[in-house]
Chains A and B, each alone.
Chain A
Amino acid sequence: MTDKWGISRLVLLMESLVTKDLKVRYKRSILGFAWFLLKPLFSMVVYYFVFTKILRFGGAIPHFSLFLLTGLLPWNFFSSSLSATTSSLLDNHRLIRSIYFPRMALPAAEVAANLVHLLLALVVLEAILIIFGHYPGISIVLILPALILLTMMTVGIGMLLSIGNVFYRDVKQFIEVLLLAWFYASPIIYPLDSIGVDIVQSQNLVAILKFNPVSGFMEIMHSIFYAGTWPPLWCWISLGSWSFVLLFIGISVFRKAEPVVVKEL
């Protein structure tokens, strides 16, 4: 193998990859970082009209647009991260084949770059919420552990996708469809039981939807940002177990597949 890769060196590598990612993304872009906020804002406007003027269930939720935004921001993080990680190994194949470094850093850096965006977007979100009278409670401190768990889960899934896409390009197509279905199966445009509004009428359906890996995080978002309450316990159990399981599977599969993938690229 090659020279030692200690923690500090890994941190340095991740830092550089993230910096590169952000720089590359916003070169020659006028609005730059603002796009990370604008994209969810535009979708917010669309969903707002669809679900209050056409389908009309959003009317049951006060400040429906703000409710939408609390879910759309982390979803945007999740879905952009997964799309980016899927092609992260293929896009960097020349780099991988010319120098040794821990390749896990590639999908991980994609997630980290998106996380930087999410953090900034959450600050803006909090400001907007305060303007509209949704003051945060002490529960807001819980955003930190929740974000750590979500990131772990996203990295885990991202690693699986990046490996899969090297062997089968179908993965890239498939993930787009999957994300569309996943979006509607997650409590983003509707709440489950975090804010005391009952939109999903069937209790069985609610129970099933709680098994969705991102349900826990979305409900935590709604509780602490939108409602300013403590999130229900099931959110933590679901998010925690999914995160550890998916990260573990992701890392194990990546480790195992890495030597083959390098030759395959």
Chain B
Amino acid sequence: MTNVFLDYRLYHDRAVSLRETMMNLFNRKTSIENFRALDDVSIDIEPGESVAIIGSNGAGKSTTLKILAGIYRPTLGTAVSSGRIASLLDLGVGFHPDLTGEENLMLNGAMLGLGRNDMKALIPEIADFAQLSRFMDTPVKYYSNGMFMRLGFSLATTVDPDILLIDEVLAVGDVGFQEKCYQRIQDFREQGKTIIFVSHDLEAVSKLCNRTVWLHEGRIEMDGGAEDVLSGYLQKASARMKKISTTATPKEWGSREIWFDSVKLRNSDGIPTGIFRKGDGIIIDTVIKSRIPSRVDNVVFGFSIHRADGETVIGTNNLEMNQPLLSITGSLESSIEIDLDIEEPGTYLLGIALTDPEASRDYHWQEFFYPITLIEERKDPPLRLSQAVWKQE
């Protein structure tokens, strides 16, 4: 899509009857305002790319997908695509409640351009993947929400599209089914199909996509490799989270006789980031300053890692770990390198502290201060053969 603009008409107390329109006409009081959902957005996606679109609510992510799916026509600019598009914009909405699963699949197949016979041949596979083979002749109004979604996902991914558009719908069914969904999307990637994916789930983004577009208020903020864009996005998000966090709020206290003047996070490759993969070291680089004129010995430098709700997971310091304590005169650069085994990927909060337990002094605490996202990467190949032995007795 090139230079795409899209305006919505935003109604303030919208007039839906003729009488109201007439009155508005006479009063010359128009209650319509244009809202620009996309503002000069250009994205060029090559076949075989998997692209994630991220951004806060109302940034224009879903609108972008709808334009790519051909549902919206841009107010200005052009959007072109080629190949069969399957969209998971709203799972299963093409389904009519009174029709059976099979009848609905036939209808949806026609919408996607699949002939009767082609579709008939695919139905067992779709039903099987959705684990609904027994319910294909039941009207879908008797389906549970999960069944509905499963059928929708199964349909969209079985019809062999060239382009798959996904809008935040991977929370389908139970954990087992979600795993199957991810696997299927991975397969799509490996078959060289194009995937465009909107999500708030940054872990899924980093798993599934190699390119990420970050939208902010209808404009492209960043477009590039998933890692770069995600860390940029997280930095901005954490800056905002400091202001409006509903969970653990960052806290800072202490006498500040000795204080953290600057703190930077980077991974073991030296790249500044807030996202760490399995095997990456987390390195905290600090500049510590002191206003105490004399040299201060035995300063304890600690860190803690908490879940997003504030629950402490790890908390330790150089005293506890039998490592050299700090001695400060004026200014000092100090860093901690942390190696973690990631059991549960997710976003955590990192806190650091400077204390002197012997003199029972708290110099500077920054608790829940630095959000870090720990991700687990898919390994390729996932297994390696170390040995195989054939024996004959």
**A positions within 8 Å CB-CB of B:** 1-3, 5, 9, 12-13, 15-17, 19-20, 23-24, 27, 94-101, 168-170, 258-260, 262-264
B8, B69, B96, B111 — which one has the most chain A CB atoms within 10 A of its CB?
Answer: B111
With contact pairs A99-B71, A99-B94, A168-B17 given, residues A2 and B81 touching in the complex (Cβ less than 8 Å): yes
Interchain pairs with CB closer than 8 A, number: 91
Contact A1 B70 (CB under 8 A): yes
- Kindly state the separation between the CA atoms of A258 and B71 in the bound complex, as whole angstroms: 10
Closest 4 CB pairs of A and B: A2-B70, A100-B70, A16-B110, A259-B73
Q: CA A27 – CA B116 in complex, angstroms?
A: 22
B382: Cβ under 8 A from any A Cβ: no
Inter-subunit contact B93/A168 (CB<8 Å): no
Q: Enumerate chain A residues within 8 angstroms of B357, measured Cβ to Cβ.
A: none
Given contacts A12-B110, A169-B16, contact A2 B69 (CB under 8 A): yes
Listed by A's residue number, 24 A-B pairs whose Cβ atoms lie within 8 Å are A1-B81, A3-B83, A5-B113, A13-B110, A16-B111, A17-B110, A23-B99, A24-B99, A27-B139, A94-B90, A97-B71, A97-B89, A99-B69, A99-B71, A99-B87, A99-B89, A99-B112, A100-B71, A168-B21, A259-B73, A262-B71, A263-B8, A263-B72, A264-B9
Residues from chain A with Cβ under 8 Å of B113 in the complex: 3, 5, 9, 12
Point out which of B9, B18, B81 has the most chain A C-beta atoms below 10 A from its C-beta.
B18
Interface residues on B, range: 35 or more
- CB pair A170–B17 under 8 Å, yes or no, is yes
**B179 within 8 A of partner (CB):** no
Do B66 and A97 touch (CB < 8 A)? yes
Apart from A1-B81, A27-B98: 11 A-B pairs, beta carbons within 8 A: A1-B70, A1-B79, A2-B85, A3-B84, A12-B116, A20-B96, A20-B107, A95-B94, A98-B87, A170-B18, A260-B9
The listed residue with most B CB atoms (<10 A of its CB), out of A3, A99, A101, A168, is A99
CA distance A43 to B66 in the complex (A): 47
Within 2-49 of B, Cβ neighbours of A (below 8 Å) are at: 8-9, 16-18, 21
CB distance from B171 to the nearest CB of A (A): 17
B81 touches A24 (CB 8 A): no
Task: Specify which chain B residues have a CB less than 8 angstroms from the CB of A24 in the assembled complex.
Answer: 96, 98-99
Over the window 111-138 of chain B, the binary record of Cβ atoms lying under 8 Å from chain A Cβ atoms (1 yes, 0 no) is 1110110000000000000000000000
> Which A residues touch B9, using CB under 8 A?
260, 263-264
| Cross-chain contact B98 with A15 (CB below 8 angstroms) | no
Report whether B72 and A17 are in contact in the complex, using a CB–CB cutoff of 8 Å: no
- Chain A residue at smallest Cβ distance from B112: A99
Q: B93 and A95: CB pair below 8 A?
A: yes
CB neighbours (8 Å) of B392 from chain A are none
What residues of chain B lie closer than 8 Å to A96, measured between beta carbons?
A: 71
Contacts of B85 in A (CB 8 A): 2-3, 100
Docked Cα-Cα span, A12 to B94, in Å, equals 16
Closest residue on chain A to residue B79 by CB atoms: A1
Q: Which residues of chain B come closer than 8 Å to A99, judged between CB atoms?
A: 69, 71, 87, 89, 94, 111-112
| Pair A3/B82 contact, Cβ less than 8 Å | yes
A3 to B114, CA, bound (A): 13
A20 touches B79 (CB 8 A): no
B71 to A15, Cβ gap below 8 A? no
Majority DSSP secondary structure for residues of B touching A? loop
Residue of B nearest to A171 (CB): B18
User: Which B residues are closer than 8 A to A by beta carbons?
Assistant: 8-9, 16-18, 21, 66, 69-73, 79-85, 87, 89-90, 93-94, 96, 98-99, 103, 106-107, 109-113, 115-116, 139
Query: How far is B18's CA from A98's CA once the two chains are assembled, in angstroms?
Result: 29
Contacts of B96 in A (CB 8 A): 20, 24
Considering the chains assembled together, what is the distance between the CA atoms of A225 and B71 in angstroms?
46
User: What is the bound-complex CA distance between A13 and B113, given in angstroms?
Assistant: 8
- Tell me whether B69 and A100 are in contact (CB under 8 A): yes
Residues of A within 8 A of B109 (CB): 16
A255 CB → nearest B CB, Å: 11
Flag if B90 contacts A12 (CB, 8 Å): no
**Residue in A2, A3, A15, A23 whose beta carbon sits within 8 Å of that of B103 in the complex:** A23
Q: How far is the CA of A24 from the CA of B99 in the complex (A)?
A: 7
Cα A13 to Cα B80 with chains together (Å): 23
Question: Which residues of chain A come closer than 8 Å to B89, judged between CB atoms?
Answer: 97-99
Is there contact, CB below 8 Å, between A101 and B111? yes
Q: How far is the CA of A17 from the CA of B71 in the complex (A)?
A: 19
Residues of chain A within 8 A of B112, CB atoms compared:
99
B139 neighbours in A (Cβ, 8 Å): 27
Q: Tell whether A20 pairs with B99 under 8 Å between CB atoms, given A98-B93, A99-B87.
A: yes
CB distance from A1 to the nearest CB of B (A): 5
Whether B107 lies near A16 (C-beta < 8 A) is: yes
Contacts of A101 in B (CB 8 A): 111
Are A98 and B71 touching (Cβ within 8 A)?
A: yes
| Closest residue of B by beta carbon distance from A168 | B18
With both chains docked as a complex, state the minimum distance between the C-beta of B63 and any C-beta of chain A, in angstroms: 9
| Cα distance, A65 to B131, chains bound together (Å) | 56
CB distance from A11 to the nearest CB of B (A): 10
Report the minimal beta-carbon distance from A225 to chain B, rounded to whole angstroms: 35
User: Considering only CB atoms, which chain A residue lies closest to B95 in the complex?
Assistant: A95
Residues of B within 8 A of A169 (CB): 16-17
